[in-house]
Structure 1
Amino acid sequence: MLPSFSYLTEHAGFRGTIKNSPSDFVVTELEVPELFLRDTRAELLQRTSEAPPAQSSQCPREPKRRRTEPPGQGAPACPRDAAGGGCAATPGKSESEGDPELRAGLGEACPLESLLGKPVSELLNKFACDLKDTWGLENNADAGTREFSLGPRLDKKIRADLHSAVRQKFPFLVTVTRDNEMIVKGNPDYRELCQLVTEKETNDFFKFLDAKLENSTFSFEPDGNKEHRKVVHHFINRKFGKLLETKSFTVTDVNDQPNMSITVRFREKSWSRKRSAGGFQEKQDVYTAFTLQKENLETLEAIGLLAAELDILPSDFSYTGIKDKKAITLQPMIVKKVTPERLKEIGNKMEKKGMKIFNIRPAYQHLRLGQLKGNHFDIVVRDLQHHSHDSSADLKERISEAMKSVETKGFVNYYGPQRFGQGQIVQTDQIGLALLNEKMVKAVKLFFTPEDTDDPVNNAKRYFLQTEDAKGTLVMLPEFKVREKMLLRALNRYGVNHEGCTKAWLNIPHSLRIFYVHAYCSKIWNEAASYRLKTYGSKVVEGDLVCLEENGESISLNDKVHVVTASEESANKYSIYQVVLPMVGHSVKYPSNKVGQWYHERLSKDELELCKFRVSPLHLNIPGCYRLILKTVQNLSYFLESSEKEIKIEDNHLNDLKVSLHISFDLDPSCYATVCLREIMKCNF
C-alpha cells in the first residue's frame, strides 16, 4: 500500500492482521446530515423505520412595509450581507410546515459549493448581490440584462441539481440552458412581486412555488387594502394561473383584529396522478431516505444490485461517501422515485445479497458526496506479534506505547488503498492518468484489464480485450456491473477508437469520470506528503503552505492558504498540524521550497503540465484543493482479548497467547482507518 512512505511517530509498533472477516472491520458514518435523524450507532442497528423531526432555522424578520403604500413603491434593496440568500426562511403560513417528512431540510441552503466549487460559488454570490443592488436603482436598464455563466454542463442530472440549488439559495434568480451552457439571470417575476409585497414574502412565495409540496398552501401577510389585494391576485393569476389559485380569507392580524389575507395553493389538476393498468402511478419526485448496511460489497456494487431490484437507475441513489468492501459498513442513502413502502418490500431479498436496510423514511432531496461528518470504526486486529527486529520486547507494552503515541501526535493523512483499487492489477490512478493525458482508448483498455481469477466478470473483460466485441461482452456481464455496461453500450454504438472511447467515458456519470482523475491526484499527494516529511520532518519551514482557518476540512480557496516566510519560520509561528499540501490542479499554488520543485518534476514525468488539469472532451475541470498533512484521531479506546477466554491476559502471558486487539476510534471525513492503523502498528497492509 504505502511501503516506503514516511511515518510520523517513532514508537516500535507491532504486527497483526486486519479484515480477517467483515465483522472485524465495522464502519459507521458519524453524524447523519440534516435530512436524517441523528441516530446513534446502536439505534442504526435496532430501528427500521421512523420519520425525521422537523428542522427549522429562524431568520431575522424583515421590517414590514406598510400596506397603505401604493403598489410599486417601497421596493426593498438588497443589503450586502444578505445577497447570498443563506438564511432561507420557510413560508410563515404554509400548512405543510407541520409535516416533518415534507419540510425537513427546507430551511437549509442548498450546498452550491459542492456542485460549483468555492471560487465559482463566490462569484455567483457576488453576481447575485450586485444584481439586487441594481434593482434598487431607478431606471437602471442594465438590471434586466445581466447574466452569469456557470459554464457547459452536459450531464442532465447535474444541470437539474444546479437549477434546484440556485433557485433554493437565490429565489430572485432563474437559470436557463443554452446549448448545454447554464446561464443565471434575474427573475423579473420576483422583481415585480417585490414591488407589491415585502421582500421576505416574495422570497418565501418563490420558495413555496419551487418546492411544489402537495397539499401545501402559502399565505401573504394580512392586508386591509382591497385594491392592493386585487393587484396581487391579478399578478399571481397572470403569471402562475395554470399552476396556482388564490383566494382571500379573513384572518386575525398581529393586533388581534380581523383582517384579510391572500392564500395561495396549487390547483388540483397539477397534482393528479396518471392512471396505469395496475392503479395509480407513483409520482416521480419522491425521495426516500434509508441506512444501508452492507457486507463484503463495494458501495457502487451494492447500489447496482438495489437499482436492478427496484428497476431504477443507479444514478437515482445518492450517498455521502464510498465505504470499504471488506467490512461491515453503515451509511445513510437517499433514493429517488422509490416510496418507503416499495423499499421495505425488497428488504428480505437484499439480505440474501449481503445488505440490510434500516431507518426507511421520506426525505426532501438527495445527498451529495462529501456531506458526511466523519466515520466511527470498530476494528479487530488478530494474530498479534512483535516485529521481527523487536522480538525481545513485551508485546502489551508495545501496544500501549503505540496507542498513546498516535493518540497524542496523530498520523500522516495519506489516502488509503481503497482510493486506488487495493489488490487490483490496474489501479484507478492509472486510468486517471490516461484520462488526463486524453488517451481515451488506453483508459478503456486499462478499465477492462481483468484480474487473475476465473469468474464471469473477468472472463468478460478478457473477451473484450481479445475481440473488442462490446455487444458480446455486454451479454456476458452480470447486471450489477453498471459502469462496465454503461461504457460497453457506448462502445458498441460508436466503436473502440479515440472518438468512440471518448463518448463511452461521457456515457458514465460525471462523478465516476472524475473519480479516476481524483485517484491520480491522490497518489501524487501521498508521494508529496512522504517527501515533505522526509525532507523537513515536523518543523514548519519557509515556503511551506499553512491553512489559516481552524478545523479546515476542505480547503479550496488560495486566500485561506498562506506561504510561510523566513521570519515566521524563525519565530515558530505555525504548527506542523496547520501545514497543507496541494492536490494538483490548475488553480492551486505550490510550496516555494524543495517540495514545490518536487511537484514540478513529478508531474513532468507523467507528461502533465500544471495548467493541463482540464479535460475538455470529458467536461472534467480539476481546480485542485489543499489537504492537511497530519490528522488526529478522536475517542480512541482499545482492549485485548485472548482466544482462550478463561485465561487472563497478564503481562507475563501475553507473548505466549493468541491475542486479538479491539480498537475503536473516530476519524474526520476523508481520513482512512487503514492509514491510522499503519501508523499505530508500523506496518503496511
Structure 2
Amino acid sequence: MLPSFSYVTRHTGFRGTIKNSPSDFVVTEIEVPEHLQGVSRAEPLQRTGEVLPERSSPCPQQPKKRRVEAPPAAGGDPGRAGGGCSAPPGTNHRESEPDLKPGLKEGGMLDSLLGKSMSELLNKFACDVKDAWDLENNADCSSREFSLGPVPDKKTRADLHSAVRQKFPFLLTASKDSEMIVKGNADYRELCRLVTEKETSDFFKFLDAKLENATFSFEPDGNKEHRKIVHHFISRKFGKLLETKSFTVTDVNDQPNVSIVVRFREKRWSGKRSAGGFQEKQDVYTAFTLQKENLETLEAIGLLAAELGVLPSDFSYTGIKDKKAITYQPMVVKKVTPERLKEIGNKMENKGMKIHNIHLACQHLKLGQLKGNHFDIVVRDLKHHSHDDSSADLKKRISEAMENVEIKGFVNYYGPQRFGQGQNVQTDQIGLALLNEKMVKAVKLFFTPEDTDDPVNNAKRYFLQTEDAKGALGMLPEFKVREKMLLRALHRYGVNHEGCTKGWLNIPHSMRIFYVHAYCSKIWNEAASYRLQIYGSKVVEGDLVFSEQDESYFLNDKVHVVTAPEESANKYSINQVVLPMVGHSIKYPSNKVGQWYRERLSKDELQMCKFRVSPLQLNIPGCYRPILKNIQNLSYFLQSNEEGIGIEDNHLTESKVSLHISFDLDPSCYATVCLREIMKCDL
C-alpha cells in the first residue's frame, strides 16, 4: 500500500485482514448541522433499512456575516439602522447564528474557481464600480463591464455566478455563450438610495439564494410614505418574483413599529433572466442518504443518473467513499422530486444501493462540506508478524497498539483508494498527463483495461486497438457515464489533441479535477514521508505551521514559517506542522522539504506555477494538510470466530478471533491509513 512510508508510533503491531466482505467495513458520513435540516448537532447519519419520514420544513437561513455598517444612504431615513434577515413572528428563523469572517467562504471559492490573479482583478473591478458610484459618475457606471473569460462547463458557470453575487451583491453576472461578464447592478444602486447598504446587500443575497419559503425583513420603518416607495420599488423591479407586505413588529426599544417583509410568490416562476439579472426559474433539489455496497461513489452516481434520466453533474456529494465497503453518505440531486426518487428505490437495491431519508433541500452539497466519517471495521485472521513472535501475548499487543495511536495519532497519508489500488493505470498517472496537457495520452491511460474479460474492459480494449469511439460506445454498459461522455466527444471530434481536449471537457468538472487531485495527493504522500524521514517529529526552521485552531487550510496568511529562535524554543509541536498540496497559490517550506518539492515536480516536467490547465478549465490553487491526525471516539472489542468458544484472558489463538474497531476521523482522513499505523503492516 504505502511500502516506504513512515510510522509515527513504535509498537510492534499485528497482522490481519480487512474487507473480507463489505459488511466488515462500514463508513457513515458525519453530517454537518448547518447544511442538513432538522439536526441539532453533528452526528452520524441515520442508518436504517427504512426510508425516514420526509422533512418538509423550510430551509434554514444562512448564517449572518459580520459586515462594516455603511452610513445611511442618500434619500433614506437617517434615523434607521442597518437591516438584517430578521423575520416576522411565526417565521422559521434561527437566532444567534455564528458569525463568519467577511467574504471568507466566497473569497476562497472565487480564488479556487478563477485563480488568484483573476480573482484579484475582479476585486479591483468591484472597487472601481463602487468608486464610480460614490463619484456619481453615471456614464462610467452604466458602461463598465468585466470579462471573466470563457467558462465552458455549465456547473462551473453556475458556481461562479453564485460565488460572485454572494461576495459582491452589487454586481450582475451574465453569460454570453460560454463567456462570463460582470457589471454593476443599477437596481442595487437604486435601492441603496432608499435603505442602508447593509439592508440592500442582504436583500440581494436573499434574492439570489431563492430559498423556498424564506422571507426577508427590512428594518422597522415608521415613515409610511417611505415604506410606500420601497414597496413600489420591489413591485416594479421584481413583482413577478416577489411580493411584499407590512407587518407590525417590536423595534429595538420594545416599541411597536412597522417592517416590510418580502417573500417569493407561491406560484412557480419561469422565464428568462429579469431586468435585475436573476434567474427566475427555481430548480428542485432533493436530498437523500445513499447506502451503497461494493460500488465506487462515481459509479453509483452513474447508475442513479441513468435510471433517473439526469446528468451525473446534477448530483452533489461531500466526499468519495470506499468501494469495498458499506457506506452511508448524504447526497443532493437537482431536477428530481422526492416522489420520483422513491419510485426507483427497489430497482437500485438490485444494483447494490439503498436510498434513505428522502426530503427536499435548498441547494447542492460541496466537496469537503462534511464533519468527518464514522467507521465500524472488523479485522479478521489476527496473527503475529512472524513465527518467531508467536509466543508473545497478542491481546497485549493489540491493546498497546490502540493506546499508542489514540495518544500519538497517525501519519495523514492519502489512502490507496485515492489512486485506484491494484489497477493497471492509477488515477494520479492520468492527472499528471492532464497537468502536462498531454490530452491524447490522458485519454489512452483512461481507457487502459484491466486484465479481466468483462463488457467494460472489452470495450476499453477494443477502443485502444481500433480508436473506434462509436463501436466502443455500443459495447459499454449504460452506467459507465464518464466513459460514454468521453467517447461521444471523441466520435465527433476525433482522437487527436483537439478531440481529446473536447472529450475531457465533455465530462463534469468535478470528475476532471479528480484525476489532477490524485496526482497532487501522491506528491503530498511522498513529501510527508521525506519530511518525517529527515527531521522526524522535531519542528525545525523552515517548517510550515498553523498556529491557530480550526483555521481554513486554504489561507496563505494563516501559514507561518518557523524561525530559528522558534525552533530553539520548541514553540510548535509536530501536530501543528502542515505540508502544501501542490498548486499555484501556496508557499513551500524554506528548508530541505521545499527543495525536495522543486526537484520532485521538475522530475515530472512541472514548474512550480503550472497548476492551471486553461483548455480544461482546471484551476489548482493548492492548500495545506496536517502531517499528523488524531483518531476520535476509539473503542474496540475481541470476538471469537467460533460459536461457544470464549476468549482467554492472557492468550489469543491466532486466526480464531476477530477485532471489532469503531472510531471517527476528520474529513479527508483514511481509515486504511489509520489501521496501517495500528497494525504496522500494509493492508
- 2:80 and 2:222 mapped to 1: Cα distance? 21
Match of 1:277 in 2: none
Compute the displacement of 1:577 (Å): 1.0
What is the distance in 1 between the residues matched to 2:321 and 2:54?
Answer: 24
Name the CA shift for 1:29/1:491 in 2 (closer, same or farther; >3 Å): same
Give the direction of change, closer, same or farther, for the CA distance of 1:649–1:124 in structure 2 (3 Å limit).
farther
Q: How far has the Cα of 1:89 moved from its partner?
A: 4.4
Whether the 8 Å contact between 2:85 and 2:216 is mirrored in structure 1 is no
1:660 has 2:664 as partner? no
Counterpart CA distance in 1 for 2:214 and 2:587 is 50
**3-state SS of the aligned residue for 1:393?**
coil
Q: What's the CA shift string for 1:367-400, capped at 9, x where partnerless?
A: 0101011101000000000001533321111111
CA separation of 1:568/1:306 partners in 2, compared to 1, >3 Å: closer, same or farther? same
Letter in 2 for 1:558: N
| Offset at residue 609 of structure 1 (A) | 1.7
In the aligned structure 2, how far is the partner of 1:168 from the partner of 1:587?
23
- Per-residue Cα deviation, 1:314-339 (whole angstroms, up to 9, x for no partner): 11110000000000000000111111
Q: CA deviation at 1:598?
A: 1.6
| Cα deviation digits, residues 150-175 of structure 1 (max 9, x gap) | 55422121111222343345433322
Report the counterpart of residue 275 of structure 2 in structure 1: none
Instruction: Write the letter of the residue equivalent to 2:439.
Output: M
Following TM superposition, by how much is the alpha carbon of 1:23 offset from its aligned partner in structure 2, in angstroms? 0.4
Greater Cα shift, 179-188 or 427-436: 179-188
Moved more, 145-154 or 290-299: 145-154
Deviation string 1:101-159 (CA, Å, 9 cap, x unpaired) is xx9x9999995356324785985996598469648845456666776665542212111
Give the alignment's Cα RMSD to 1 decimal: 3.6
Counterpart of 2:446 in structure 1 is 447
2:633 to 632, 635, 642: 635
User: For the structure 1 residues 124 and 340, does the alpha-carbon distance in structure 2 shift closer, same or farther, using more than 3 Å as the test?
Assistant: farther
Distance 1:222 1:580 in 2: 49
Cα separation, 1, equivalents of 2:151 and 2:430: 23
Q: How does 1:75-114 map to 2 (within 5 A)?
A: 89-90=84-85, 92-93=87-88, 97-98=91-92, 111-112=105-106
1:421 matched residue in structure 2: 420
Partner of 1:492: 491
SS at match of 2:636: strand
| Counterpart for residue 357 of structure 1 | 355
Matching residue's letter, 2:9: T
Q: CA deviation at 1:243?
A: 4.2
Q: Distance in 2 between matches of 1:272 and 1:559?
A: 44
* CA distance in 2: counterparts of 1:536 and 1:62, whole angstroms: 45
* Residue aligning to 1:156: 154
- Note closer, same or farther for the CA distance 1:242–1:417 as it changes in structure 2 (3 Å cut): same
Q: CA 1:262/1:608 → structure 2, altered by over 3 Å: closer, same or farther?
A: closer
Could you tell me how far apart the structure 2 residues matched to 1:74 and 1:259 are? 16
Supply the AA of the counterpart residue of 1:17.
Answer: T
Amino acid at match of 2:368: G
Residue in 2 aligned with 1:384? 382
Q: What's the secondary structure of 1:380's corresponding residue?
A: strand
AA in 1 matched with 2:603? K
Match of 2:506 in 1: 507
Pick which of 378-387 and 203-212 moved more.
203-212
Deviation at 1:533, TM superposition (A): 1.0
Name stretches of at least 5 consecutive residues in structure 1 with no aligned partner.
79-87, 274-282
Deviates more, 1:155-164 or 1:512-521: 155-164
* Partner of residue 35, structure 2: 35
CA displacement at 1:542 relative to structure 2: 1.8
Distance 1:94 1:489 in 2: 55
CA distance in 2, matches of 1:684, 1:149: 51
SS of 2:653's equivalent in the other structure is: helix
The structure 2 residue matched to 1:44, chosen from 39, 43, 47, is 47
Partner SS state of residue 555, structure 1? coil
In structure 2, the partner of 1:404 is 403
User: Quick check: 2:106–2:166 contact (8 Å CA) kept in 1?
Assistant: no
Equivalence for 2:675: 677
Deviation of residue 193 (structure 1)?
1.1
User: Which letter maps to 1:576?
Assistant: I
Given that residues 584 and 620 in structure 2 are in contact (C-alpha distance below 8 angstroms), is that contact kept between their aligned partners in structure 1? yes
For structure 2, list consecutive stretches of 5 or more residues without a partner in the other structure.
272-280
CA–CA separation in structure 1 for the residues paired with 2:665 and 2:210 = 39
- Give matches, 1:93-492, under 5 Å: 93=88, 97-98=91-92, 111-112=105-106, 115-117=109-111, 120=116, 123=120, 130=127, 134=131, 137=134, 139=136, 150=148, 152-177=150-175, 180-212=178-210, 225=223, 227-244=225-242, 251=248, 254=251, 271=269, 285-388=283-386, 390-492=389-491
Identical aligned residues as a percent: 75
Deviations 1:587-606 (A, max 9, x none): 22222222222222222221
| One of 49, 55, 62 as aligned partner of 2:60 | 55
* Alpha-carbon offset, residue 504 of structure 1: 0.5
How far is 1:462 from its partner? 0.5
| Amino acid across the alignment from 2:55 | A
**Any idea what the Cα deviations from partners look like across 1:16-71, whole Å, max 9, x if unmatched?**
000000000000111235231438447332652331766355689999999xx993
TM-score after normalising by structure 2: 0.87
Structure-2 separation of matches of 1:654 and 1:544: 44
TM-superposed CA distance for 1:235, in Å, is 3.0
- Matched ranges for 1:616-635 at <5 A: 616-635=614-633
> How far apart, CA to CA, are the structure 1 residues paired with 2:66 and 2:426?
52
Distance, in Å, in 1 between the alignment partners of 2:646 and 2:441 is 58
Instruction: Give the secondary structure class of the aligned counterpart of 1:44.
Output: coil
Q: Name the CA distance, whole Å, in 2 between partners of 1:170 and 1:661.
A: 54
Out of 449-458 and 264-273, give the one that drifted further: 264-273
Equivalent pairs counted in the alignment come to 659
Q: 1:264 to 1:529 in 2, by over 3 A?
A: closer
Q: Secondary structure at the match of 1:27?
A: strand
**Conservation of the 8 A alpha-carbon contact between 1:33 and 1:371:** no
Residues 288, 360 of structure 1: 8 Å contact kept = yes
Provide the residue aligned with 2:21 in structure 1. Answer: 21
Distance in 2 (CA, whole Å) between partners of 1:298 and 1:570 is: 48
Shift of 1:224: 5.8
Q: Secondary structure at the match of 1:191?
A: helix
Opposite residue 169 of structure 2, the aligned amino acid is P
The one-letter code sitting in structure 1 at the alignment partner of 2:605 is: E
SS of match in other structure, 1:367: coil
Contact 1:91-1:205 within 8 A present in 2 as well: no
Deviation at 1:449, TM superposition (A): 0.4
Q: What residue identity is the alignment partner of 1:112?
A: E
Query: 1:152, 1:180 within 8 Å by CA — same for their partners in 2?
Result: yes
Assess if the C-alpha contact under 8 Å between 1:545 and 1:580 holds in 2. yes
Aligned residue type for 2:573: S
Contact 1:24 1:380 in 2 (8 A): yes
**Change beyond 3 A, Cα 1:27–1:128:** farther
- Supply the distance in 1 between the matched residues of 2:532 and 2:380 (Cα, whole angstroms): 30
Question: Paired residue for 1:4?
Answer: 4
Distance 2:643 2:111 in 1: 54
Structure 1 residue 658: deviation in Å?
0.6
Amino acid at match of 1:422: Q
- Paired residue secondary structure (1:474): helix
* Equivalent AA in structure 1 for residue 17 of structure 2: T
Counterparts of 1:241 and 1:284, CA distance in 2: 16
How many Å apart are 1:584 and its aligned residue?
A: 1.5
Residues 1:449 and 1:177: Cα distance change in structure 2 (over 3 Å): same
Q: Contact 1:28–1:375 (CA<8 Å) still a contact in 2?
A: yes
Q: Return closer, same or farther for 1:657/1:382 CA change in 2, 3 Å cut-off.
A: closer
1:207: Cα distance to partner? 4.0
Distance in 1 (alpha carbons) for counterparts of 2:405 and 2:105: 34
- Name the CA shift for 1:542/1:99 in 2 (closer, same or farther; >3 Å): closer
The whole-number CA distance in structure 1 between the counterparts of 2:256 and 2:546 is: 58
Question: Which residue of structure 2 lines up, in the alignment, with residue 278 of structure 1?
Answer: none
CA contact (8 A) 1:77 1:132 kept: no
Change (3 A) 1:214 1:624: closer
Which has the higher mean CA deviation after the structures are superposed, 287-296 or 150-159? 150-159
- How far apart are 1:675 and its partner, in Å? 0.3
